[in-house]
Amino acid sequence: MARAVALVVAAGRGSRFGGEHPKQWHALNGQPLLRHSLAAFAAHPDITEVRAVIHPDDLAFYEQAAAGLRLNSPLFGGATRQASVRSGLDGLSDCDPDWVLIHDGARPFIEQALISRVLKALPGNPGVIPALPLHDTLKRARDGVISETLPRDGLFRAQTPQAFHYQMIRDAHRAAAGREMTDDAAVFEAAGHAVRLIAGSEANVKITTREDLARADRASGKTLEPRMATGYDVHRFGPGDHVTLCNIKVPHHLGLEGHSDADAALHALTDALLGCIASGDIGRHFPPTDPRWKGADSALFLTYVTELLTAMGGRILHVDITIICERPKIGPYRAAMVERLAELLALPQGRVSVKATTTEGLGFTGRQEGIAAQAAATVLLPGH
Ligand code: MG
């Protein structure tokens, strides 16, 4: 599969925003502004790496904004936006991606669907940007008096992420060094390459002023919509002396086989939460081929997904897990499981349900070959 890296540019000093800290570190919906777009790209299953481009002075802010997200190390930018992108592109030379999506860190409402649209248009086009038609009439004015009304036919407002063939945009940026342009598409055009426009999104606004941030903050709290999704997982019995379910060790004369700790209940729940944010499945985010997850505590996976959801401005309302097995008996451990899940999810215990059932001796669970678990989750997410 083609490698597509997201380069999220956030090295600016925010002269139009004012204040003590650059705007990307101010809170939107309770999270640093930059975290929203980092989380959106991290959640997209077809983005292979997410790299932020920041100012070296902002490392502490960045670490706070990126905490818990699975990102590659940030890159340091330059004195202008263009210099920052150039330096970010140079920083990607080791991983040498096929495509790079350059995104403005000040556009926090980037949607999964828009990222998908950009990626989909890429193979046939070396440059793709989202854009929207202009609806307002354009006036040129001098000293507050209109000198001209401009035709708006064929005019578009450019957005980000702007996606390009990696080597081509890197060469174009090198060639354009010293000539300031307002976006990366302009750099690509200056090198003589065609750039395809695709439909942008009205939600994908850029935060420039304090008023923009305040408006976005007010709006984002009002449009939460409910989502529910389910997850299912099975692990086979193998040698051992306990099974781990809902992060609780349950003594048994067998263990569960798996690359991680084989906690089928947490895996099902993690998949349910990924389903709520339409972000693929657990295997996509934590490939069983990756040695990092060998023997891993599955609480890591669950915490990662709840962080993604929170960073997208969402919150969990309720989760429900059903564990399906003949043995071991789950009843004696149910309360501990609810308590542990409530702790991991930062939810009151009244919003966490753990149930168990047998299959009356039927099927693979009935034959005691393994344990199955299913989960449902309900969340609130900002609507678009
Ligand atoms: Mg599993």
Q: How far is CA 300 from CA 249, 282, 285, in A?
A: 16, 11, 12
Cis peptide before 287 (omega within 30 of 0): no
User: How far is 91 from 56, CA to CA, in rounded Å?
Assistant: 14
Average pLDDT over all residues of the chain? 93
User: How far is 52 from 8, CA to CA, in rounded Å?
Assistant: 5
- pLDDT at position 162 over 60: yes
Residue 218 pLDDT grade (very low, low, confident, very high; cuts 50, 70, 90): confident
User: How far is 319 from 345, CA to CA, in rounded Å?
Assistant: 9
Mean pLDDT within 120-148: 94
Strands 145-150 and 138-142: antiparallel
Q: How many Cα atoms sit within 13 Å of 151 on the Cβ side? A: 2
Residues 191 and 265 in one domain: no
Residue 26 pLDDT grade (very low, low, confident, very high; cuts 50, 70, 90): confident
Distance 258 CA to ligand 1 centre (A): 7
Distance 232 CA to ligand 1 centre (A): 9
Distance 95 CA to ligand 1 centre (A): 30
Residues 186 and 262 in one domain: no
Domain edge (last residue) among 202, 220, 238: 220
Residues 174 and 305 in one domain: no
DSSP string, 271-313: HHHHHHTT---HHHHS-TT-GGGTT--THHHHHHHHHHHHHTT
Distance 96 CA to ligand 1 centre (A): 32
Distance 112 CA to ligand 1 centre (A): 25
Residues 208 and 240 in one domain: no
Distance 270 CA to ligand 1 centre (A): 10
Domain edge (last residue) among 189, 204, 220: 220
Residue 69 pLDDT grade (very low, low, confident, very high; cuts 50, 70, 90): confident
CATH number for position 46: 3.90.550.10
Distance 318 CA to ligand 1 centre (A): 21
Closest CA to 60 of 97, 19, 32, 98: 32
| Confidence (pLDDT) at 220 | 66
Better-scored residue on pLDDT, 222 or 94: 94
| Confidence (pLDDT) at 167 | 97
User: How far is 367 from 353, CA to CA, in rounded Å?
Assistant: 26
User: How far is 3 from 74, CA to CA, in rounded Å?
Assistant: 18
Q: For residue range 138-160, what is the model confidence (pLDDT) as tens digits?
A: 999 999 999 999 988 899 999 99
Structural domain containing residue 180:
4-220
Distance 275 CA to ligand 1 centre (A): 15
Q: For residue range 314-373, what is the model confidence (pLDDT) as tens digits?
A: 889 999 999 999 999 999 999 999 999 999 998 889 999 999 999 999 999 999 999 999
Residues 208 and 257 in one domain: no
| Confidence (pLDDT) at 308 | 87
Domain edge (last residue) among 220, 252, 270: 220
Distance 38 CA to ligand 1 centre (A): 27
Residues 34 and 170 in one domain: yes
Report percent pLDDT > 70 for the chain.
97
Q: For residue range 247-263, what is the model confidence (pLDDT) as tens digits?
A: 999 999 999 999 999 99
Closest CA to 131 of 111, 158, 103: 158
Distance 229 CA to ligand 1 centre (A): 17
CATH number for position 269: 3.30.1330.50
Distance 255 CA to ligand 1 centre (A): 14
| Confidence (pLDDT) at 81 | 94
Distance 294 CA to ligand 1 centre (A): 12
Q: Per mean pLDDT, which range of 86-100, 155-169, 279-293 is the poorest?
A: 279-293
Distance 271 CA to ligand 1 centre (A): 10
Distance 239 CA to ligand 1 centre (A): 17
Residue 384 pLDDT grade (very low, low, confident, very high; cuts 50, 70, 90): low
Instruction: Give how many domains the chain has, as a whole number.
Output: 2
Distance 351 CA to ligand 1 centre (A): 23
Distance 296 CA to ligand 1 centre (A): 11
Residues 75 and 195 in one domain: yes
| Confidence (pLDDT) at 15 | 66
Residues 152 and 275 in one domain: no
Residues 331 and 344 in one domain: yes
Mean pLDDT within 229-256: 98
Residues 16 and 160 in one domain: yes
- pLDDT at position 224 over 90: no
Strands 162-165 and 127-133: antiparallel
Provide the residues around ligand 1 (an ion) whose CB is within 5 A: 233, 267
Residue 84 pLDDT grade (very low, low, confident, very high; cuts 50, 70, 90): very high
Mean pLDDT within 56-84: 91
Residues 339 and 207 in one domain: no
Q: What does the DSSP 8-state code read for residue 269? A: H
| Confidence (pLDDT) at 382 | 78
User: How far is 313 from 330, CA to CA, in rounded Å?
Assistant: 34
Mean pLDDT within 287-302: 90
Residues 165 and 236 in one domain: no
